[in-house]
Amino acid sequence: MVRRDLVLVVVLSIAAIMLFSVRVEGQGTPTPVASPGSGTATAAQKASPIASPGATPMAGEVDLAAAERGKNAAAVCLACHSTDGSQMVGPTWKGLYMSEVELEDGRKVIADEAYLHKAIVDPMAEIVKGYPPSMPPLGLPEDQVKDLIEYIKTLK
Ligand code: HEC
């Protein structure tokens, strides 16, 4: 019985020593993060210029964090809109961004951010040709509208 306790103590001590030495080694090793070409962006920043949180995306770029929030907020919309091109009560969102949309009054417009914004906050202002004017004004807060637009932009 005593012997087994002793073995346990020895094993635990060895484990503790190993853990300790790993930590010491880790501290001693220099982290090679910003060394190559110091002064320029790190590899991670270069790899995803649009996904860096907090950065304001340039026009035409997609804010991926906002798009993710928009995807969640879109649940209520997906009763009438598809994201895969299939036909529902409303037009599909697939390929909508920057496409040409024909309106009921005969005008043709480009579905840029301003158009999408208006389509969401004031659905009766411009009606897509061939669809009933049945989209309700949903009274969404402005930041949610922006997130939804970012999400629609990802649906190519
Ligand atoms: C009750 C069904 C319904 C719901 C819910 C709905 N829509 Fe619509 N939506 C429509 C219909 C029908 C149209 C086409 C007629 C029009 O232009 O208003 C449309 C048009 C649009 C357009 C313009 C599409 C195009 O091809 O130009 C956008 C953008 C849009 N909706 C976004 C949304 C968003 C975002 C939501 C959720 C917050 C939403 N819709 C919820 C029915 C709906």
Burial track 64-102 (b if 16+ CB lie within 10 A, e otherwise)? bbbbebbbebbeebeeebbbeeeeeebbebbebbeeebe
Ligand 1 pocket mutation pick from 135, 140, 153 by most atoms within 8 angstroms of CB: 135
- Is the torsion defined by CA of 146, 151, 154, 156 positive or negative? negative
pLDDT digits 0-9 by tens, 76-121? 999 999 999 999 999 999 999 999 999 999 999 999 999 999 999 9
The finding on whether 90 has its CB within 6 A of some atom of ligand 1 is yes
The fraction of the chain above a pLDDT of 70, given in percent, is: 62
